[in-house]
A and B are shown apart, each in its own frame.
Chain A
Amino acid sequence: MRLEGIRKEYAEVEAVAGIDLEIGAGEFFSMLGPSGSGKTTTLRMIAGFERPTQGRILLDGRDVTALAPFDRDVNTVFQDYALFPHMTVAENVAYGLVVRRVAADERRRRVDEALRMVRLSDHHRRRPSQLSGGQRQRVALARALVNRPRVLLLDEPLGALDLKLREEMQIELKAIQQQVGITFVYVTHDQEEALTMSDRLAVFNAGRIEQIGTPADVYEHPTSTFVASFVGTSNLLTGDAARAVIGSDGIFTVRPEKIRIADRAADAAVGEIAVDGTIREVVYIGPDTRYIVSLDSGGELVVTRQNLETSSMEALATQGRPVRLLWQRRHVLSLARSEDAVGETEEEETTP
């Protein structure tokens, strides 16, 4: 599937500002971004609910930009599931086959198969209103998958589920995707979800794509301030802090788990950077502890540390202690400033 120069304007507002994207067959591709970044609009254009103001959408080399939703070999799992309340579970799942005039016995076989895949085999005759949120989500998935589309679009399908169920469904979705081999295009604002499930992901910001890559790529080599802060903890070094720590002007980041905390006397190993600071705040979060360290040269860095040996009491007692932070030079990444990077530009604009 390919998007070429897709733009979408509503009245005066530009929701999507030029997107080029290529998604391979059988890929699990995520579109990650905050609300209003254009990811859902892009998905709706692929589905055919919205017509792009400019650009082309190609599916298997065929231009589908002007086709109605019912003429595209694409199915959608909606955020609110959009189940038909007056039909049973089996009727919901069979809907796409019925309107495409698939023979009754094949229909029955495929509905059974789809419901088995989402583990709802005993729920044929239930109504959507009698199901839990997680079960409705599965029906929506089965209803889309039963048609064996070329591409399955998922619009924040797990957004309404609680955390535990969401994590279960993430694993299940990924397993189903690998089983059926259909291309999944998955919209989410949850960076963890995108990192866990995707083969590749695109990070959306203000109607544009900031970065496309594998989860490891995007997390470890963010190319802009926006990606660095939206995917993971930002940990930006700018201005004086950048000059003092890195030795040059620019914006730099280092992931919090790459930094180790030592006392002031510790020596830097070869290839390591050492910075002095004071622990300003300690946040205990179960498996890890997060230390917020004010640097002597200005700025702040977040350091996370697995609670291997420390107890919560010990961890919390380090507050206010002077420390030396050490990390390997190769973990420092140079970033480009994003147009609407969260917080950053706004602060600079308001302070004279």
Chain B
Amino acid sequence: MTESFWTRVGLRVATWVVLAFLYVPLLILIIYAFNPSRLQAWPPSGFTLHWFAETAGNPGVREALATSVLAGLGATGVALVLGTLAALAVHRFEFFGRETISFLFVLPIALPGVVTGIALRTTFQTAGIDFGLFTIIVGHATFCVVIAYNNVIARLRRLPRTPEEASADLGADTWTTFRRITLPSIGTALLSGGLLAFALSFDEIIVTNFTAGPGTMTIPMWILSAIRRPTELPVVNVVAFVLILVSTIPVYLAQRIGGDRTH
């Protein structure tokens, strides 16, 4: 392709504008996390790690972080088990309405979080379940299951069936075949699905707001409440910075693992 000089310059500028649009706000946030001044004014008045220490000592942050981690692990665990089972069922067996069921598994990710949230809230109230960590986990699991399901079924569709047949042929019953042959071959898909699910759960706020109840707070919820208190802003910056790391690293790892590597 031969573009004119000005087309090339134009495209190059556009690329940088888009990148700036996406990343300058993140950069500013990160810079303020190291700014000694409690006021968010430009230019920053120096460099300090003081807010990191203060964040680490903040009981609200620590509690919210613990809740977020537990919710993430719980939702990921539930999602991996249910997602894998669902993927195996849909992949293995021919049954009436299989395509519909496959579609229904994936649909929740397209539903607005508000809808999922309010639907779950209504259900929990109807069933008389107390709001707390458990309800957060259930809420997060609704979209984490989709991630796990998609990852596992994509892998299963690429895998040849004959190794499983060979295993059965060599005397292994169904469970042994699953444990020794199927599970190792979907292992990396589970890992990458798990990482993605955890990252999604960790920064989720909409569904969480509906399912958390008054006493429980995750990290994103804590940030939302803290930005209204100007004295806490530097801590918010630090937390947000940590959140950037916690949510991008798993996604990056998941892509590296999940990417189709042939031996």
Contact = CB atoms under 8 A, between A and B. Distances in A.
A223 interface: no
B197 to A, nearest CB: 24
B178 to A, nearest CB: 12
B171 A82 contact: no
Interface in A57-104: 68-70, 74-76, 78, 80, 82-86, 95-96, 99-100
A225 interface: no
A127 B263 contact: yes
Interface stretch (B102-110, B131-139, B159-167): B159-167
Given A76-B166, A78-B166, A86-B185, A70 B173 contact: yes
B3 interface: no
Contacts of B171: 70, 96, 99-100, 147
B263 A129 contact: yes
A70 B163 contact: no
Contact of A80 (B162, B167, B169, B181): B162
A63 B169 CA distance: 17
A82 B170 contact: no
27 contacts: A47-B169, A49-B165, A68-B168, A69-B165, A69-B168, A69-B169, A70-B171, A70-B172, A78-B166, A80-B160, A80-B162, A82-B160, A82-B166, A83-B163, A84-B167, A85-B263, A86-B185, A95-B170, A95-B172, A95-B180, A99-B171, A99-B172, A127-B263, A143-B166, A144-B169, A147-B170, A147-B171
B163 A84 contact: yes
Q: How large is the interface on B (under 10, 10 to 19, 20 to 34, 35 or more residues)?
A: 10 to 19
Contacts of B180: 95, 99
Given A86-B185, A99-B176, A76 B169 contact: yes
Contact of A75 (B169, B173, B185): B169
A95 B185 contact: no
A129 B168 CA distance: 22
Contacts of B259: none
A100 B170 CA distance: 9
Interface in B96-155: none
A82 B162 contact: yes
A220 B217 CA distance: 86
Interface residues of A, number: 25
Interface string A226-256: 0000000000000000000000000000000
B60 interface: no
A82 B165 contact: yes
The 9 closest A-B pairs by CB, nearest first: A82-B162, A96-B170, A129-B263, A82-B166, A99-B172, A69-B168, A86-B184, A76-B169, A100-B171
Given A86-B184, A86-B185, A129-B263, A78 B162 contact: yes
A83 B169 CA distance: 12
Nearest to B172: A99
B263 A75 contact: no
A234 B160 CA distance: 38
Nearest to A155: B162
- Among B163, B172, B263, the most chain A Cβ lie within 10 Å of the Cβ of B163
A143 B184 contact: no
Contacts of B181: 84
B111 to A, nearest CB: 36
A69 B176 CA distance: 13
Nearest to B263: A129
Contacts of A100: 171
Nearest to B187: A86
Given A48-B168, A75-B169, A147-B170, 19 more contacts: A48-B169, A69-B169, A70-B168, A70-B171, A78-B165, A78-B166, A80-B160, A82-B160, A82-B163, A84-B163, A84-B181, A85-B163, A95-B167, A95-B170, A95-B172, A99-B170, A99-B171, A99-B180, A127-B263
A254 to B, nearest CB: 43
Given A78-B162, A78-B165, A85 B185 contact: yes
Contacts of B162: 78, 80, 82
Nearest to A100: B171
A65 B162 CA distance: 21
A99 B167 CA distance: 9
Interface in A135-149: 143-144, 147
Interface string A120-140: 000000010100000000000
Contacts of A70: 168-173
Contacts of B185: 85-86
